[in-house]
Structure 1
Amino acid sequence: MSYSVELHLHTCFSFLEGASLPEELALRAATLGYEALAVTDHDGLHGAMEFAQACASVGIRPITGVELTLTRGVSQSTHDNGSPVHLTLLVEREQGYANLCRLITLAHKRTRAWEPIATHLPSEDPRPPALDPSDLAAHTDGLIALTGCRNGEIARLIDRGRFDQARLAAEQLEALFGPENVFIELQHNLVQGDTQRVARLAQLAEAANVPIVATGNVHYHVRSRHRLQDAMVAVKHRSTLEGSHRLRRPNSEFFLRPPAEVEDVFALYPQAIDNAVAIGERCKAFNLADHRELGYNFPDFSRRDGEQHSSADEVLAAFCAERFDVRYPPDRTDAQLREKARRQLQDELQLVKKHHLAGFFLIYRDLQQQATEVAKRVRGEGTIRGGSGLPPG
């Protein structure tokens, strides 16, 4: 089976890490003959929709994912002073997307805020969002877990010669995600130590009966873009190119390689190639480019007397009708102007209904009502299309 699916890729939305636009990566993938491409930016879905649309525009099947930072490895107890590790998560179906969003939210909520200091720049970079592994258990359905790059828990343990603990980590990931949803990630970017690490990871996979998968840890679409990536890393660490030498990637091999090159690198591990393609097939069930309406539900608004059994659209329409007569009283408004405003209001209500935004406007009504209790004038008049002149509340 030929390598046609890349499952570990960063766009420019991995800020100061990825050095290529989603459109550049998608176009390059199409040129090279890839069938599917996964976006796995760090700790967020900031560029997921743009990436999905860019892929769809050139006939590439997009896969949605994230390289998530964990506060510690899954094999470590809460009392261990472990350093953060990476875990790659891919969406297999719609429930997986919902769970991935929840995990990202938890990671951002639980990362401590940084207080401003007197200097114009903080003395160190803000800590990235990080998820406690204990939060994974309730949100694994519909997700496929890859064990991550060399900063993943298992790769790091292998590098330290801790084979038994690496096996324990693999078993615990299987307990969390299910045996069929965990893959040991093999990456070979021609860096010193990669060959030995890949061999040891393959041995671990065989011993633990966990499948392997080949990924590229892509950070730019063509090799020449590594110069920009070097500069971005220097900026990230507030250093110079010379001073950031140890922080930058060791070579220029973190680009989207032609499939034939990937197959050559993993010639000893054909199953890793086959599994990459198989995972790509499994992820066909969810395409973010086809899910523009993901069913986000706004928190419920404060319902007034008589509104308890009405839908949000009905409540908003009734409220606007009430406010319409206040804004355009029949006995003091030109009939033609009043009719024009009524048509405009109906158009806007249809637009609100189409995009499921009634809840937003009704929450805004609550906020404005609270604001009017402490202020004489409250900003907020306006509409989606800027026409009817009706206030939100």
Structure 2
Amino acid sequence: MQYTELQITTNFSFLRGGSHPEELVEQAEALGYREIAITDRNTLAGIVRAHTAAKAKGMRILPAARLDLQDGPALLAYPVDKDAYARLSGLLTIGNLRAEKGDCLLCRADVYQHAKGIKFIVVPPAALNTTFDFDHAFLQTLGEYREAFGPELYLAASRAYQGDDNKQLYRLSQLSAQLNIPMAATNNVHYHHPARRQLQDVLTCIREKCTIQTAGFRLFENAERHLKPIHEMHRLFRQYPDALRQTQEIAQACRFSLDSLQYVYPEEITSEGRTPHGRTDLSYLAGRQAAIQRSGP
């Protein structure tokens, strides 16, 4: 029984994730995971800490990101190799340079130009409309995504425990068959343990500038956004086994690792002499990558 969680938000998604990357890796190991993906919002800043923690435990991290777009549904992006990772990094840098510090502005056209070698999962709307269907705007954009990404596109299937999960999964399965876009099971994780839900609620209130008493539907309805055991994910998607298989298909295709990165920089004069060429320094990469993601115009 295998499962790889492909949608995890850490505290590097500012005021959204309720757990550190290291906590999520530790919990994943305790639950028997061999690999997980980190998909923070419009940033790759959290994957270095996750990679370092996972490497110490013999696990694997799939570097990825959630792309929140100005003109379309969000996309989870998974580079399959180093070149694709470079394109994803360049895409995020473009979005950062357009925005104030801490923000990232990306459009569909930007993603289309950097899509080579990247697998995408579309994040559907959180709820169906009053006719228990998806709005026309989502359906129209989904068709455009299918034309742009072809077989590299998948549909995220998650259970939010909102009362209409079965209806939403059924509608997604219809779209999957109609547009030939496979479903991929995810859990939309925002913290490593259910007890962290209260902290995540506080972060939401800070982000939305409200109190717990007035937050209402801006909070998650329950504490189900935690990392679940593998057997539980198989139970939740027992009616859609293909979604579980597609999740593993994506994980197996994405073999890129941060271990393959090497930062090459010119010699510098320091108080201790010249620095060597071609040093591989993961902590330095972490700092540089985080700085790029935070940079403004």
Question: 1:43: which partner in 2?
Answer: 42
Instruction: State how far apart, in whole Å, the 1-side matches of 2:128 and 2:105 are.
Output: 18
**What is the SS of the residue equivalent to 1:5?**
coil
**What is the SS of the residue equivalent to 1:99?**
helix
The residue type equivalent to 2:279 in the other structure is H
Q: How does 1:205-224 map to 2 (within 5 A)?
A: 205-224=176-195
**What is the SS of the residue equivalent to 1:38?**
strand
Q: How far does the alpha carbon of each residue in 1:208-245 deviate from its partner, in whole angstroms, 9 at most, with x for none?
A: 11111000100001111101101111111222111112
Question: 1:230: which partner in 2?
Answer: 201
The residue type equivalent to 1:88 in the other structure is L
Compared with structure 1, are the counterparts of its residues 207 and 294 closer, same or farther at alpha carbon in structure 2 (3 Å cutoff)? farther
Alpha-carbon offset, residue 22 of structure 1: 0.9
Instruction: State how far apart, in whole Å, the 2-side matches of 1:45 and 1:109 are.
Output: 15
The question of 1:161 aligning with 2:133 is answered yes
Pick one of 156, 164, 174 that aligns with 2:146.
174
Contact 2:125 2:134 in 1 (8 A): no
Question: 2:55: which partner in 1?
Answer: 56
Q: How does 1:77-226 map to 2 (within 5 A)?
A: 85-111=73-99, 113=100, 128-150=103-125, 161-162=133-134, 166-177=138-149, 179-226=150-197
Alpha-carbon offset, residue 265 of structure 1: 1.0
Q: How far does the alpha carbon of each residue in 1:352-384 deviate from its partner, in whole angstroms, 9 at most, with x for none?
A: 424399xxxxxxxxxxxxxxxxxxxxxxxxxxx
Compared with structure 1, are the counterparts of its residues 223 and 101 closer, same or farther at alpha carbon in structure 2 (3 Å cutoff)? same
Question: 1:326: which partner in 2?
Answer: none
**What is the SS of the residue equivalent to 2:84?**
helix
Q: Which has the higher contact order (CA 8 A, sep 6+)?
A: 2
Compared with structure 1, are the counterparts of its residues 183 and 222 closer, same or farther at alpha carbon in structure 2 (3 Å cutoff)? same
The residue type equivalent to 2:79 in the other structure is V
Compared with structure 1, are the counterparts of its residues 138 and 193 closer, same or farther at alpha carbon in structure 2 (3 Å cutoff)? same
Structure 2 gap segments, 5+ residues each: 282-297
**What is the SS of the residue equivalent to 1:6?**
coil
Structure 1 gap segments, 5+ residues each: 74-84, 115-125, 298-311, 321-343, 358-393
Rg larger in 1 or in 2? Answer: 1
The residue type equivalent to 1:145 in the other structure is F
The residue type equivalent to 2:153 in the other structure is V
Question: 1:293: which partner in 2?
Answer: 262
How many pairs were matched up? 281
Contact 1:94 1:142 in 2 (8 A): no
Instruction: State how far apart, in whole Å, the 1-side matches of 2:76 and 2:5 are.
Output: 13
Contact 1:223 1:255 in 2 (8 A): yes
How many percent identity over aligned positions?
A: 26
Q: How far does the alpha carbon of each residue in 1:123-173 deviate from its partner, in whole angstroms, 9 at most, with x for none?
A: xxx8x422111112220112110001535xxx7789873576545433322
- TM-score when normalising by structure 1: 0.66
Pairwise CA RMSD of aligned residues? 2.6
